[in-house]
Amino acid sequence: MKKIILLLYCSAVTLGIVIVLTNSCSKTEEPVNKAPVCIITNPVSGNEIKKNMPVTISVNASDADGDIKEVAFFIDGIIIGTSANLPYQYDWDNKWENLGSYRIKATAYDNRDGSTSDEITIILTEAEDNPESPVASFTANLTSISPGSSVQFTDLSINKPVNWLWDFGDGSTSTAQHPSHQFPSAGIFNISLTVGNNYGADTLTENAFIEVLVGGVETGTVADYDGNSYNTVKIGDQWWMADNLKTTHFADGTEIPVVESDADWINLDYTDKAYCYYDNSTAYANIYGALYTWAAAMNGAASSYVNPSGIKGICPDGWHLPSDAEWIELEMYLGMSFEQADGFNWRGTDEGRKMKNNYGWKINGNGTNSSGFSALPAGNRFHGTFDDIGETTRYWSTTEYINITHLAFNRTLDYKHSGVGWFQANHYYGYPKDFGLSVRCVKD
């Protein structure tokens, strides 16, 4: 189309109008690019690492509206390498570095030049006497499968091993670095990896690492009001979300108040509804979900002790917040006796390992995830303080502590424990309702 622009001018003797014709066209604006997600999952901030032990820097990176172009890795602001393919990781050889503190940063770039960074700090300490001996480590893409399915194993060993020996627990072995193995029959299998080089050898055995189930694990998905999609898994007779909730609205569309300020969170009453992301960073939301007060998780409902709880709370339509009794049902299905499940503190044997994902936990705190529950260490918000990401996760239940209306029961998973925590809500172990904890929902 053409625009007509009138220009007025004047002088001592004349007054004139100039008409200028200009061409213009409308332009369709591209949608705003969403920044990618970038989370350093290994090592964990604050780790002390022996000098001469190469460090595998691992990153969870994703892009909601496109693709990850590459992930760049930095030490103290200096780029040391990039990765353009899954898994996004880089082996940092620190043998020439001085002892002390180092900043590790990773930046994920998407296909529209958006970027997000994450940064941690580690401490380089004195080397071991034999720094070049390998240290065995591995992971797998699946830990709970149907008979006849294959598992892709990935070697994560450090100090440059040159030979590998895998024992799959079913009479089969492999000398490949990253083997794929088919498990033909049902059972629970211990997996061992022995790695070696000219300086020595090391063996890592993960007990009950692979569970082959007749009929396999039933899975599905569910969406919340915001359109977020969550993986779901059937464990026993219950259907559980396999991801932490991250909705910002209740199922009827009512907005949940977001509280970011430490001072504002400290001033919350135990009846206040609120949520936040860890460190107030949306980059954590896709991996760890959100942290909610108990009032937000319950959406104002009263305490429930029964199974099922009957409390929809913050959950999507057709789902509800689990009661303490429903958590006990899950724990007993995974192997606890009733006496264990009905007790306080750390209970059970390996039920927590069955619930924890096989990556993302500090040091050697990963689980087998044989249940499909896929727990990750989302951390917490205690009063105004964020704490324990990479180490711990806690989930609300609908059940108040008896006769103490500002306290409620939860379930705790931790990198140092293979069981499941159920703590007394007293002064020392207390979990007041204004704490920020994670939420998992159960299908009606």
pTM: 0.57
Pairing relationship of beta strands 48-50 and 115-125 according to DSSP bridges: parallel
Do 279 and 416 reside in the same domain of the chain?
yes
Residue finishing a domain among 183, 212, 241: 212
Nearest 5°: phi and psi at 53? -105, 105
Do 263 and 364 reside in the same domain of the chain?
yes
Do 342 and 198 reside in the same domain of the chain?
no
Do 338 and 407 reside in the same domain of the chain?
yes
Do 201 and 331 reside in the same domain of the chain?
no
Q: How far is 266 from 174, CA to CA, in rounded Å?
A: 55
Average pLDDT estimate for 203-207: 94
What is the DSSP annotation of 44-74? -TT-EEETTS-EEEEEEEE-TTS-EEEEEEE
- Which structural domain range is residue 180 located in? 138-212
Do 52 and 148 reside in the same domain of the chain?
no
Beta-carbon contacts of 427 under 8 Å, excluding residues fewer than 6 positions away, are none
Q: What is the pLDDT of residues 273-321, one digit of tens each?
A: 999 999 999 989 989 999 999 999 999 999 999 999 999 999 999 999 9
Question: How many whole angstroms from its chain centre is CA 281?
Answer: 13
CB-CB contact of 297 with 271 (8 Å) = no
Residue finishing a domain among 184, 212, 240: 212
What CATH number is given to the structural domain containing 207? 2.60.40.10
Decide: helix, strand or coil at residue 324: helix
Do 329 and 421 reside in the same domain of the chain?
yes
21: burial class by Cβ within 10 Å (0-12, 13-18, 19+)? exposed
Do 45 and 94 reside in the same domain of the chain?
yes
Structure confidence at residue 131 as a pLDDT band (50, 70, 90): low
Do 196 and 259 reside in the same domain of the chain?
no
Mean pLDDT of the chain: 88
Do 37 and 173 reside in the same domain of the chain?
no
Quote the number of domains for the chain: 3
Do 198 and 234 reside in the same domain of the chain?
no
Do 40 and 119 reside in the same domain of the chain?
yes
Residue finishing a domain among 192, 212, 232: 212
